[in-house]
Every structure is written in C-alpha cells, then in structure tokens.
Structure 1
Amino acid sequence: MTLAGVTTAAATLSSVTSAGGDDYEEITARGQVIRIGRGETYENKLFDLTNGNSVLLLVEGGNSVIRNVGFRGLHRGDGFMISISAASGDVLIENVYLGDGSTKEGESFVHGPGAVFYHRNASCDVTFRYCNVQGWPNNGFYCSNTASGGSVRFEHCYGKNNGVSTYRVAGGRDAIVDCVAYNDDTDYGPGWGGYVEDAGRPVWVWPGNTVRIDDSNVASGSYPYAMVLRGNATARMTGGAIRGTVQGGGLNRSNVSSDPDLSVPEGVPTSPEEAAAGSKGTTADTDAPTDAEDDDGPLEHLILFDGDPAGVTRYEFEVSGSVEKSTDEGASIDDEDVIDGEFVHGVVADWKDAFRFSGDLEQLTVDGPATVFVDGEVVDPTDYGVDRPHVLEVTSRDGPASFEVTVDGEIELESDENPADETTAVSGTTVQRSITDGSETFRFSGALTDVTVIDGEAEISLDGEPIDPDDYGDHELLPHALVIDGTDADGPSTYSFETSGAVVTSTYDDASVDDAVIEDGVVRGVVDDERTAYWFDGEIESFRLFGRASVDVQYNAREQ
C-alpha cells in the first residue's frame, strides 16, 4: 500500500469545509494515515474518496474511540480503511459508514481491499457499534486474529454483500449481538461487475473458542452458506434467525427461526453524511457524561476478578455509587453476572470479570481461588464489610421445628449458643438444626440453594424478606449421568457443556460435588485430581474440554 502522508488524530487536516451547517469536517482523501493513539477520540469526519485516493485510520492505542465517521464514494485503493493494532485496552468504533463499497482493482490482497482489519499483533478489546459495511471484496470485518488474544464485539451492525465474509471472528470472547449480515441475489458490491462467485460468508468463525451470536439475522443469498464454521470452530446462536446452509457442525441454536429480518438495524447510519453528523447511533458524546456519571460521577474505579483454573470462584460486592460491566484488562462480559442496583454477584473460573464503579467499595465477598484487584492493586476481601453478608432467620411456629439449609457459599450460626436439646450439623455449606421455640439467625455468603422444613412448621426470612421454602426445594430425579474423571489426568481440566433439559450436580460413581457454575442448562467448571458428576435429562447439546480428564455419559443410569 502506498500512502502519501502520515498524521495523528489530533492534527489539523487539509480540505476542511463546512457541511451545510452540520458539525463535522469534510476531508479529501489523499492517501494519508491517521494514527489514533492511546486515550484519543477521533470523531465527526467525512472522507471524500471520489477522487480515487484512499485513507487509513490506524488505531495504535487502547482506551480510544472512533466515532461518527463516514466514507463517501466508491473506494478504489488496495488496502483496509480501518486497521487496529493496539496491544491492550478497550477500543470503541461506533456510528461509522463504509457502505459505498470498493472495487476489485487492488490486487495486493488476494481478494482485493477490505473495510476493517484486526491486526495479528493486536490484543485489545474492540466494540463495533452502529456500523454499516457493504460491498468490500476482502472481508467487511476481518477480525479472526482474536483467536490469539483480545476480542471483538459487534452491536447493532449491518453488513451486506461483502467478499470472503462480513463478520470474521474467532476468539472465545467474540460476540455478534443484534446485527444483520447477508448477501442478496443481484450485485455483490459497487464496481465488482456482478461477480456472484465472489460473494462471501455472512458469518465466518475460525477455530478458537465458542463465539456468541445473539438476536442477529443472517442469510446466504447466492453464496452456498449463511455461516461457515472452519475446522473445529463453534458458535452459540440465541434468538434471531438464519436462512441458508451452515457449513460445519459446531453451531448450537436456541430459539432461532428461519425467517430473518434483513432491514438495517435502528440507529445504523445509511449515508456517510448521516454518520459524520452523528445524527444516529451514538451512545455518548465525548464531553457529555453518561447517565451513571450524571448521578454519581465518572466510573473511575475498576474491580477485577482474575479467575484460577484450579476452581470456580463465586463473588459478590456492593458499591456506594454506580457500577457496570467492563472488558478492561482482557475481562469477558458474561450475561450470568448480575448487577442489581449497587449490588453485583457472579462467578469466574479460568477467565476474568471486571466492573467499573463510582463511589466506594462497601462490601466484598469471595469464595474460591480468584485474585481480586481494585484499581490495579491486589486486595484482601476481608478488608471490605463482613465475610457473610446475607442473613437467614428461622422462626418456629406452634412448637418445635427441624430444618435443613444449604447455600453455595459458607454459612454459620450467628449465635455461639448451642443448647443441649437442640442439634446442629454444619458442613461448610449446609446447616441441619432443630429449634423448640423462638428464632435463630444464620449468616452466609453466596446464594441460598435449598431450604427444607423437615418436621413442624417454621417461618423463614432472607435478608429481612419472607420466603417460601418450596421455592428452594430438591431437584427432581434426573435419569442420565455425566462423569468427568480427572483422577488420572496430568493437571486440572476445564470443561463446559450445555443440555437441552435440567442438570444438577451428583455423587454418582463416587464423585465429589464440584464447584461448577450452572445457569439455564449451561455448566462450567474445573476438575483436578477428583471425579465430578451430573444428573441430567434431555440431550447434551455441546461439550468442550480443555485438559486430559476422561468423560463418560451413562444414559438411564438409575436403571443400571
């Protein structure tokens, strides 16, 4: 690629004009490279490509932003328009129009020029939001280099008639959310000459970890496949629709139809001028605070839970201000982690979870081997609040009562008293107790998983609110058993699987109870030199194992 000049995002560019009163700069393309460094924001630009020249936006630093940028006219260069090489941090690219397409004239790339490229040396976390990319011969979003580090996340993006692929992804934290990708049956990109055989895969997943595809719409058109899963690549598609053949067997579907909505998602710019003016799609103005910042100031603090492959860690914390999930320091965004006002709880194993917050860290409880960092410094959870923040109170009604309580953290009787006519059995996570009258209080961490009144009647409250013990009962007897045996493996093994029915932990085949995470039929855990097992019904829809543990499935195990 021959480039005539190099400048930085902060430099004053030539050919700046007023654009009908809209607040953006119009820039004539002349082969310039515009370097965007760490912490910089580059926004409200309209590039005119009609003279045949090109331009490159080169993202070299993390915590940077490209926002409100439009490219007008058919591109006739030989390279990508946006290239990302930042080694760390977050990058946001939003409200960008690359919908006028490109020609096949440049042959320095095998398939001609492309729109966006995630460089193999990059290891940052990029979010693409409200982007319109159409008619590019060499991929719309060429982002499969995340298999070796970093991540990409697409939100409310639109791609059409791109060669090779529209969304090319690979990393385990990559996600495509509320997006559209398809090929139609006419012209595949302005200037292509109608080369239908060059039409690409709407979604192309390269080998790596499982890629998420949520509420998105995909269609193949004349290209043979709507989605291609290369080698052992896998994807989990939830919601949305797909029309066309899927190549490769690693796609797991949930509530996916065959009638996609291929219209442009709301908020995506449909012209370069619209993008440059920022009239649609942007989620925040550079100088304006977010809603959270309006209420409590900027989210200036970062708490990071660095998981350990040796086991699952459950955590919960509370702040005095606002809190939101973050991809800082390579953390993942997990739907299973819950933010309820100022209170957060979640789980982490061989990955990282991070949150940005304002105010003070009021309470922190951690059960497991993860290391916790606050603003880059390792902290001791016992320095924040109490170890067991939840309160469970049991009150006998009309005479003696016996009960059993189980949590997925740690539980203890708040009182030190232990009358002789009352028995208590505590095994870390379980309390068995009899009371003659009055009430007793327990403090615990984690979640309340089981409450059983064995004899008599009792009233039970959790954190001051009455609860129904029937809502925390035992699971039904499930027929099938899955055993993951790490006794002969060399080191720990990480696993995840999904069932079409219910799943619970089990002591089948002398297994120990694993510290696994179970959410909506999806299980994640770690097994070292022990055996762990699960009861389940339905089918195992997906299974991934990293390590040398052995796996055995016994259908109708209770009948054997």
Structure 2
Amino acid sequence: MKLAGATTAATAFAGTVGAADEADYETIDAQGQVIRIGQGETFENKLIDLTTGDSVVLLVEGGNSTIRNVGFEGLHRGDGFMISITAPSGDVLIENVYLGDGSTKEGESFVHGPGAVFYHKESSCNVTFRHCNVQGWPNNGFYCSNTASGGSAHFDRCYGKNNGVSTYRVAGGDDAIVDSVAYNDDTDYGPGWGGYTEAHGRPVWVWPGDTVTIENSHFADGPYPHAMVLRESGTAQMSGGAIDGNVQGSGLEQTDVSSSPELSVPEGTPTSAAEAASGGSSDGTTGGVDDAEDGEDTEDAEDGQLLLVEGDSADVTRYEFAVDGSVEQATTDGATIDGEDELEDGSVRGVVADWKDAFRFEGELSSLTVDGPGRVLVDGEEVDPADYGEELPHELEIDGRGAPTSYEITVDGTIELDADEDPDDEATTISGSTVQSSVTDSSQVFRFSGALTDVTFTDGEAAVFLDGERIDPAAYGDTELLPHALVIDGSGTDDPTSYAVTVNGTIVKADPGEATIDADDTIADGTVRGVVDTELDAYWFAGELGDFSLCGDATVDVQYNARDQ
C-alpha cells in the first residue's frame, strides 16, 4: 500500500485497537491518491485529512482484508466514493470508521455526486461494516446493492444521517442490517449540497434480490417521505427496532417493529475522525476486536478464549495446537473459516499465509507448534509456542522384524530422528518433512509436528507405532512409489513465488536431485499450495496435472517417469 503525504500524530484519546500503540495514528493528507488494500492486508489507525480540498480513495482489491480505525476529517470536495470495494472473493472487515463530515456535490462523474462506500459489480466478497458513521453524502452512504449478483454486506451497529439517495442500499439474500440507525432531518441533506434534492433521502433502499434481514434497527424519514423503499420485487424481513415514516413497496415483513425509533449513535461507533483513528468510540471504549458488546463476533467472545493465528505474506505458516476443552472456528478480527482446517477432540491443525485463522476454545491451551513466519495470539497477547508443550509433539517408531526393510515417511510438518546419533550414522536421510531409512532387527524413533501423511515400504516390512499406538501403514499413503516429479525452482529469483497445483491422482512431497522439501507446503484433496524463495520445492505424483497457478518468477519442471531416469 502506498501512503502519500503521511505524517505521524498522537491523540489524547485512550484505548487503541490492532497495530496502534499508545493511541498513535498516522495522518494522511488527501492528494487525490488511491490507497490499495490487497489480499490479507490491514489498513488501520489512520486519519485522512480532507481539509486539503482534495480526495483520496481506499480501494479494497483483495479478500481477507481489513480497514479498521480510520477517520476522514473535513468536508469532502470531489466527485467519487471514499471506500471502493472490488475484491472478487473472501471476507472484508470495515470497522470503526468515521465518514461523518459529509461532502459537497462538486463534479459530475456520478449522477448524484460523491458517495461514501461503493461495492462494485465485479466484487463478490463478504463485507462486514461494524461501528461505521456515515453522514451527509449525496450519492449513498453504503452503495451495496450489487450484492444481488454475489457476495454480501452485513451492517453491525452502524449510523447514517442525511445521506442522499440512501444510507443502506442492499439487495442480497445474505445482506443484513443489525442494531443500526439511519434517518434524515435536514432539508439540504448535509453541508454544501446547494439545495440538491433529486432522489435523495431513503434511510434503507432494498433492491430486487433475495430477502434482506433487518434486526433491532431504527429508521426515520425526513423531507423525502419514505423511511424505507423496496424497489420493484425487493423484499426484507424486519424484527425488532422501529420505523417512523412511510414504507414504499409491499415486500416488507415486520415482527415486533414499533413506530418510535431511537436515533442516537450506537454504542461503540465513533463520532469524530480523530476518535475513530485512535481506536475510540462514542461510549469511550475502544473500537474493533476489544469492543465486546453484542453482534456475531462478540457473542462468541463470551464462549471462551480467542486464539488468533496471523499469517505472513512472506511464506506459508503451518500450525497445530491442542486444548483440554472444546474448540471451534471463529471469524473474529477479520479471520476466515477455512474448510481445510482439521478439528478433532480438542486438537487443531491448519495453514495460513496472508490471512488469519481464529478459534474460540474452553479450557487450557496444552500444546502449540508453529512452523513459519506467522504468529499466534491468545486473547490479544502474542504467545511463545515453546511455552506450550513440545516443539515436536508426535512420536513415530519403526520397529524392525529381523529382515532388511527400507522405508520412506512423510509428514506435513517437521521431523527429526530421536536419537543421540547423527542421522547419517544411521543411514537415515531427512529432507524437510521426509525421511528415508532402513531397519532390520532394531527400532528407529522420530519426533515430528503436523500430521503423518505417508508411510511407504520399498522392501521388507516393519511395525509402525504412532504416539504409542500401532497403525496400519497402508492407511497413510500408497504402498507403490509415485512415478512423476514436479519441481518448482525459485533459485535465482529475488522475491518469493507462491503456487497451487492440482492433480487428478496422488501427490506427495519429494526430494529428487537437489530439490528440497518445504515443511510449510500443504497438500489437500490432490491440491498442493506452497511458496518458494531461493530454493526448490518438489513433489512425486501420479495421474495428470490439472489446474496450475504461479505468482512469481520461479520456473516449473515436470518430469514424467522420473524414477526411471
């Protein structure tokens, strides 16, 4: 992300969220720049100074990203939207944002003038707006009706006032407005509008699509005579809360809705730009993850401790932990639900790169291993994996039965020989996550992290014990060696290369020639994902290669029937 015209400032507000320390935030002078927020990135604790008379755009281009603690200060003078969302997939979190100083209608790039937030047609991500204050924008506060074709917009304790066209413009079946407020009370609808009154003022505008959910929210009309408009076949279900004013359209179902709305700023929502940038809010608490009042993420805050795994775009991070109670996935702090994470009997294994995984758990954290540059936080405090159990928690024993036996073992983490002898003295080759060795009438013991993914005997047989229990090696990979090799060569490149490849057969990590095996690479359902920097990654596989993506300058070499060469 490029931050033009940035200076550092401190405020008198107490309490911060995310990366800010001691209520520090950064001031960015608006100079017409575009600040791009990519996959997995966080943009937080910024005050954007619009008193320069210029504009700025926060362009959200990637999913699993976050805008947090951002205040736009001063009357905006321009013709565009301030936050523009084009992310094609993933989750986006926008919280504790102040856009309450409004805008003038200067310029004609948009029919209705400038707006606050725009969800583009090409976007298909799931956006959560939490504690956002948007007032005085001619062209919609939250223009999110494009969710009708994919993605969703969820509003949690947001506040809108005197926005033109609409405050909440929604359409998708997964869209929801919860514990939020919108109303109009000014004939000019915000400073500098110059009497512009065309098609303005709907607190809620529901466009055709699936039914929108509205809960415990409060709306009131103003000079424009509708508190809510359901366009054509637009539908919504509203429970709790209140509406003061006319509802245009017949697609609204109401349950326990009164006619006396409470129109104050929801608790936790900032009322000034500096308050937002410092992490403060209207009730004096901090915004973001520390604000545990209500809402989907704060409900699960009451159900145990939060463990957050923060990935790093520099490389893949594989993690594993165990608790002595229950554990479940969560979406707190912009984390995503990863279907490939493994949860069983209080144990969790997963992988992050430039995103986050989060879990709520009961009881005590008993073990934790982390392979890669990522970090783990428990209830907001970073923890040292060395303080929680062994670095290599699993034991694997190969017990010979008197006949010469050669074998190969692969795990999806790190593996080491558990002996005083050097592995070379034991005729044992360990390369990353793979072991090649042999036994006759002795035993070999290894310690490893992650999961056991493959046990292959090239000749002979032996008994195999995993964490003290005998296992069937046939249940851990093919007994026949895979014939083809795939090599991703990052040597000679300046930057890391990420890749993903799918085969319609079997693929395992390998060590052909000079290639290495990266314990951080992941394999699931015939798809492998990894990152190479200046090294090689290699895999054995059977079947045909399918989808292949490569981001970077590494070269790719496919060697068919490589074992015969």
TM-score by length of 1: 0.52
Equivalent runs, 1:48-127 vs 2, <5 Å: 48-127=49-128
1:46–1:72 contact (8 Å) kept in structure 2? yes
**CA distance in structure 2 between the partners assigned to 1:359 and 1:78 by the alignment:** 47
Q: Residues 241, 294 of structure 1: CA spacing in aligned structure 2 closer, same or farther, 3 A cutoff? A: closer
Equivalent runs, 1:185-334 vs 2, <5 Å: 185-280=186-281, 282-284=287-289, 295=305, 297-298=307-308, 320-324=326-330
2:330–2:337 contact (8 Å) kept in structure 1? no
- Number of aligned residue pairs: give it: 312
Alignment deviations for residues 231-287 of structure 1 (CA, whole Å, 9 cap, x no partner) = 11100000000011111100000000001111111111111010101112523269x
- Give the CA deviation at 1:200: 2.0
Q: In the alignment, is residue 19 of structure 1 matched against residue 10 of structure 2?
A: yes
1:182–1:219 contact (8 Å) kept in structure 2? yes
**Residue identity opposite 2:305 in structure 1:** D
- Give the CA deviation at 1:222: 1.1
What residue in structure 2 maps to residue 444 of structure 1?
none
**Residue identity opposite 1:165 in structure 2:** S
Equivalent runs, 1:448-487 vs 2, <5 Å: none
1:214–1:239 contact (8 Å) kept in structure 2? yes
**CA distance in structure 2 between the partners assigned to 1:358 and 1:219 by the alignment:** 38
> SS of the counterpart of 1:120?
coil
> SS of the counterpart of 2:238?
strand
Q: Residues 247, 96 of structure 1: CA spacing in aligned structure 2 closer, same or farther, 3 A cutoff? A: same
Q: In the alignment, is residue 167 of structure 1 matched against residue 177 of structure 2?
A: no
Alignment deviations for residues 292-345 of structure 1 (CA, whole Å, 9 cap, x no partner) = 8983633799xxxxxxxxxxxxxxxx98324447995799xxxxxxxxxx9xxx
Alignment deviations for residues 441-496 of structure 1 (CA, whole Å, 9 cap, x no partner) = xxxxxxxxxxxxxxxxxxxxxxxxxxxxxxxxxxxxxxxxxxxxxxxxxxxxxxxx
Equivalent runs, 1:436-515 vs 2, <5 Å: none
What residue in structure 1 maps to residue 515 of structure 2?
none
2:330–2:336 contact (8 Å) kept in structure 1? no
Identity %: 67
Alignment deviations for residues 180-219 of structure 1 (CA, whole Å, 9 cap, x no partner) = 0111144311101244455321100000000001000001
1:292–1:322 contact (8 Å) kept in structure 2? no
> SS of the counterpart of 1:27?
strand
What residue in structure 2 maps to residue 405 of structure 1?
none
Q: Residues 244, 292 of structure 1: CA spacing in aligned structure 2 closer, same or farther, 3 A cutoff? A: closer
> SS of the counterpart of 1:297?
strand
**Residue identity opposite 1:170 in structure 2:** A
**Residue identity opposite 2:288 in structure 1:** T
2:162–2:190 contact (8 Å) kept in structure 1? yes
Q: In the alignment, is residue 146 of structure 1 matched against residue 151 of structure 2?
A: no
Alignment deviations for residues 505-545 of structure 1 (CA, whole Å, 9 cap, x no partner) = xxxxxxxxxxxxxxxxxxxxxxxxxxxxxxxxxxxxxxxxx
**Residue identity opposite 2:205 in structure 1:** W
1:299–1:322 contact (8 Å) kept in structure 2? no
Q: Residues 294, 177 of structure 1: CA spacing in aligned structure 2 closer, same or farther, 3 A cutoff? A: closer
- Give the CA deviation at 1:357: 4.2
Alignment deviations for residues 57-108 of structure 1 (CA, whole Å, 9 cap, x no partner) = 0001111100000111111111000000111111000010101111111211
Alignment deviations for residues 13-69 of structure 1 (CA, whole Å, 9 cap, x no partner) = 424032346400111100110000111110010111112100000001111100000
**Residue identity opposite 1:228 in structure 2:** V
**Residue identity opposite 1:133 in structure 2:** V
**CA distance in structure 1 between the partners assigned to 2:221 and 2:302 by the alignment:** 41
Q: Residues 330, 77 of structure 1: CA spacing in aligned structure 2 closer, same or farther, 3 A cutoff? A: farther
**Residue identity opposite 2:211 in structure 1:** T
1:183–1:199 contact (8 Å) kept in structure 2? no
1:76–1:103 contact (8 Å) kept in structure 2? yes
**CA distance in structure 1 between the partners assigned to 2:139 and 2:280 by the alignment:** 29
**Residue identity opposite 1:14 in structure 2:** G
RMSD: 3.1
What residue in structure 2 maps to residue 128 of structure 1?
129
1:66–1:92 contact (8 Å) kept in structure 2? yes
**CA distance in structure 2 between the partners assigned to 1:71 and 1:63 by the alignment:** 23
1:150–1:330 contact (8 Å) kept in structure 2? no
2:330–2:360 contact (8 Å) kept in structure 1? no
2:4–2:31 contact (8 Å) kept in structure 1? no
**CA distance in structure 2 between the partners assigned to 1:119 and 1:269 by the alignment:** 26
Alignment deviations for residues 370-421 of structure 1 (CA, whole Å, 9 cap, x no partner) = xxxxxxxxxxxxxxxxxxxxxxxxxxxxxxxxxxxxxxxxxxxxxxxxxxxx
2:304–2:360 contact (8 Å) kept in structure 1? no
What residue in structure 1 maps to residue 386 of structure 2?
none
2:303–2:361 contact (8 Å) kept in structure 1? no
What residue in structure 1 maps to residue 493 of structure 2?
none
Unaligned runs of 5+ in 2: 13-22, 292-297, 312-323, 340-345, 347-356, 363-565
Q: Residues 359, 255 of structure 1: CA spacing in aligned structure 2 closer, same or farther, 3 A cutoff? A: closer
- Give the CA deviation at 1:139: 0.4
**CA distance in structure 2 between the partners assigned to 1:12 and 1:84 by the alignment:** 18
What residue in structure 2 maps to residue 39 of structure 1?
40
> SS of the counterpart of 1:45?
strand
**CA distance in structure 1 between the partners assigned to 2:165 and 2:261 by the alignment:** 21
Q: Residues 43, 228 of structure 1: CA spacing in aligned structure 2 closer, same or farther, 3 A cutoff? A: same
> SS of the counterpart of 1:146?
helix
Q: Residues 103, 296 of structure 1: CA spacing in aligned structure 2 closer, same or farther, 3 A cutoff? A: closer
**Residue identity opposite 2:208 in structure 1:** P
**Residue identity opposite 2:326 in structure 1:** S
> SS of the counterpart of 2:96?
strand
**Residue identity opposite 1:321 in structure 2:** V
**CA distance in structure 1 between the partners assigned to 2:10 and 2:49 by the alignment:** 12
**Residue identity opposite 2:212 in structure 1:** V
- Give the CA deviation at 1:12: 5.1
> SS of the counterpart of 1:154?
strand
> SS of the counterpart of 2:204?
strand
**CA distance in structure 1 between the partners assigned to 2:104 and 2:110 by the alignment:** 12
2:95–2:132 contact (8 Å) kept in structure 1? yes
> SS of the counterpart of 1:273?
helix
What residue in structure 1 maps to residue 488 of structure 2?
none
Q: Residues 15, 39 of structure 1: CA spacing in aligned structure 2 closer, same or farther, 3 A cutoff? A: closer
**CA distance in structure 2 between the partners assigned to 1:243 and 1:118 by the alignment:** 28
